Amino acid sequence: MAIATVNPATGATEREFEPHSGEEVERRIARAQDAFKALKDTTFAERAQWLRRAAEILEGEVDETARMLVVEMGKPIGQAEAEVRKSAKGLRFYADHAESFLADEPLDDPAAVGASRAWTRYEPLGVVLAVMPWNFPVWQALRFAAPALAAGNTGLLKHASNVPQTALYLDGLFERAGFPPGAFQALLIGSREVKAVIEDARVKAVTLTGSEPAGSSVAATAGAAIKKSVLELGGSDPFIVLPSADLDAAVETAVRARTINNGQSCIAGKRFIVHTDVYDEFSRRFTEATAALVVGDPLDPKTEVGPLATEAGRDELAELVDDAVAKGARVLTGGGALDRPGWFYAPTVLADLSDDAAIVQEETFGPVAALYRAEDAADAARIANQTRFGLSSAVWTNDADEQEWFIRNLDAGAVFVNGMTVSFPELPFGGVKASGYGRELAAAGIREFTNLKTVWKG
Ligand code: NAP
């Protein structure tokens, strides 16, 4: 895949970039290693100060940065601005909390292990490679970078090939904020060059956010080299609605959950599983609200749904819908690409899916919702758990016993009760099953790329 900015709203190639040569990659890894030697002797307070400065820079440049995101991957401008602001919040979160998350933990009873004192200490690992996707190109990269740098690691970012301008912007951000040169750098390389970077002895660990094939390839390389990996992969999250739910709020939130970021979010509600008693009502109102969404130029503040990020992504989505329809699904609204330049796809609702439709198992990365009718709570959980994914989930019910039952019975990295899944710096984020392993954000996220060193003193 060429490293280029192709505007999804027009299909026009705006800028192409020469990939980094082997020598340039080598130079960047060497700089990252040198920066680690410098960074590991800095204090939490110094790193926190630089993270806060990076947050200020981001906020000061929100307008230009948001426009760049829109031109590179097509999200509506208001959502691009919100992404940049949220990223600044993530930087400040780790500036405020890294030291307490990584504080030494003494053993209460050292005599039990024959010691005068014993404790654990978190130490940085070194250079960490981050392979990142285009869908939240600033937030995804910074939710890796903030804890990694706060812990004293250095980062190499292999960003998705369609967001090179964002990659280069982030490449400069941390040095501008005061971090040692080389603490965070972008590698403009294709996915084929990733293996050699993981295998490089100076690179200690890798994190990937993206698709299953990419995740399994990166994890295989890391496994062969015995290096730590974290995988944040796809999702096909259930959004379950039961009779006691506030239906107004559920419908309104369901539409937002499915179409935020033009439907290209790993934690989007993708499968809407509705109890039969409220199915018809939910289906009617959800379809009406989906059909009323404003689709258009993502730079226009009135636009609610813009184009898909790539032509290939739009074609894959169209294939899943066409396959479902060929196997008997009903299209309640939408159902096809829009006849205009760029990679637009109409917000779509499908019902009556047959079990052999690929969409039942696959992730839909675009504004396509699948409706399922459930006979009861147990049937809803069965449908929710029937895919190989297990990223997050949402359940709408005002019955306390039912809430507790779903919290226990949904196979997912998170359960949101009467809300939609959102990532917060304060909460751990990650999946089970084919959605990956390891956690980002919160205390769990910063500890992933550390050496938990045990210290015993006689
Ligand atoms: P993708 O093709 O897997 O790309 C993601 C990143 O991996 C890009 O930088 C890509 O580089 C690289 N890559 C692709 N194949 C690779 C390989 N074999 N070895 C090494 N690197 C490789 O993913 P996408 O389709 O663009 O992104 C959407 C996917 O990401 C969805 O499945 C979505 O659910 C998932 N996602 C998950 C989370 C989460 O937190 N769980 C968050 C956001 C997105 P190139 O661009 O150069 O190919």
SS3 per-residue string spanning 118-178: EEEEEEECCEEEEECCCCCCCHHHHHHHHHHHHHCCEEEEECCCCCHHHHHHHHHHHHHCC
151 lines ligand 1 (CB under 6 A): no
- What percent of the chain lies above the pLDDT cut of 90? 100
Rounded Cα–Cα distance for residues 310 and 132 (Å): 16
Cβ atoms of residues 127 and 207 within 8 Å:
no
Which domains, from first to last, does the chain contain? 4-233+435-457 (3.40.605.10), 237-425 (3.40.309.10)
Per DSSP, which regions of 242-324 are E strands? 269-275
Ligand 1 atom nearest to 136, measured from its CA: 43
Q: Which two tokens stand for residue 122?
A: 């978190």
Q: How far is the CA of 401 from the centre of ligand 1 (A)?
A: 38
The verdict on whether 232 is a catalytic residue reads yes
Which sign, positive or negative, has the C-alpha torsion 211, 217, 222, 226?
positive
- Which of 308, 373, 392, 332 lies closest to 134, judged by CA? 308
Q: Which two tokens stand for residue 392?
A: 């997050």
Query: What pLDDT band is residue 1 in, cutting at 50, 70 and 90?
Result: confident
pLDDT at 67: 98
pLDDT at 90: 98
Q: One of 232, 363, 402, 448 is an active-site residue; which one?
A: 232
pLDDT by residue (tens digit) across 397-437?
Answer: 999 999 999 999 999 999 999 999 999 999 999 999 999 99
Q: Which two tokens stand for residue 67?
A: 């426009």
pLDDT by residue (tens digit) across 36-61?
Answer: 999 999 999 999 999 999 999 999 99
Which residues, in sequence order, are CB contacts of 117 under 8 Å at separation 6+? Answer: 106, 107, 110, 455, 457
pLDDT by residue (tens digit) across 88-143?
Answer: 999 999 999 999 999 999 999 999 999 999 999 999 999 999 999 999 999 999 99
Mean pLDDT over each residue of the chain, to the nearest integer? 98
Ligand 1 atom nearest to 440, measured from its CA: 40
440 lines ligand 1 (CB under 6 A): no
- Which of 354, 365, 382, 359 lies closest to 273, judged by CA? 382
Q: How far is the CA of 158 from the centre of ligand 1 (A)?
A: 11
Ligand 1 atom nearest to 310, measured from its CA: 26
> Going by DSSP bridges, is the β-strand pair 127-131/117-124 parallel, antiparallel, or unpaired?
unpaired
391 lines ligand 1 (CB under 6 A): yes
pTM of the model: 0.98
pLDDT at 46: 98
184 lines ligand 1 (CB under 6 A): no
Mean pLDDT within 249-270: 98
198 lines ligand 1 (CB under 6 A): no
pLDDT at 300: 98
Q: One of 72, 83, 266, 448 is an active-site residue; which one?
A: 266
For residue 238, CA distances in Å to 84, 180, 267 come to: 27, 44, 10
233 lines ligand 1 (CB under 6 A): yes
Which residues, in sequence order, are CB contacts of 377 under 8 Å at separation 6+? Answer: 242, 275, 402, 405, 406
The verdict on whether 266 is a catalytic residue reads yes
Rounded Cα–Cα distance for residues 187 and 182 (Å): 12
187 lines ligand 1 (CB under 6 A): no
Query: What pLDDT band is residue 357 in, cutting at 50, 70 and 90?
Result: very high
Cβ atoms of residues 35 and 339 within 8 Å:
no
pLDDT at 40: 92
- Which neighbouring-strand residues pair with 157? 130, 186
Rounded Cα–Cα distance for residues 162 and 134 (Å): 7
295 lines ligand 1 (CB under 6 A): no
> Going by DSSP bridges, is the β-strand pair 117-124/105-106 parallel, antiparallel, or unpaired?
antiparallel
132 lines ligand 1 (CB under 6 A): yes
**Would the pLDDT of 147 be above 90?**
yes
Query: What pLDDT band is residue 311 in, cutting at 50, 70 and 90?
Result: very high
Q: How far is the CA of 161 from the centre of ligand 1 (A)?
A: 10
Mean pLDDT within 230-239: 98
Which residues, in sequence order, are CB contacts of 202 under 8 Å at separation 6+? Answer: 29, 30, 32, 33, 126, 127
Which of 5, 134, 191 has the most ligand 1 atoms within 8 A of CB, as the residue to mutate?
Answer: 191
Give the dihedral of Cα atoms 304, 232, 30, 34; nearest 10 deg. Answer: 90
Rounded Cα–Cα distance for residues 355 and 321 (Å): 14
Which of 157, 209, 362 has the most ligand 1 atoms within 8 A of CB, as the residue to mutate?
Answer: 209
Which residue has a Cα nearest atom 16 of ligand 1? Answer: 214
Q: How far is the CA of 131 from the centre of ligand 1 (A)?
A: 8
Helix axis angle for 62-73 and 77-101, nearest 10°, is: 110
Backbone angles phi, psi at 344, to 5 degrees: -85, 140
Residue written as token pair 């204090």: 43
If one counts every other C-beta atom within 10 angstroms of the C-beta of residue 453, the result is 11
Reported as type and span, the H/E element at residue 223 is helix 212-224
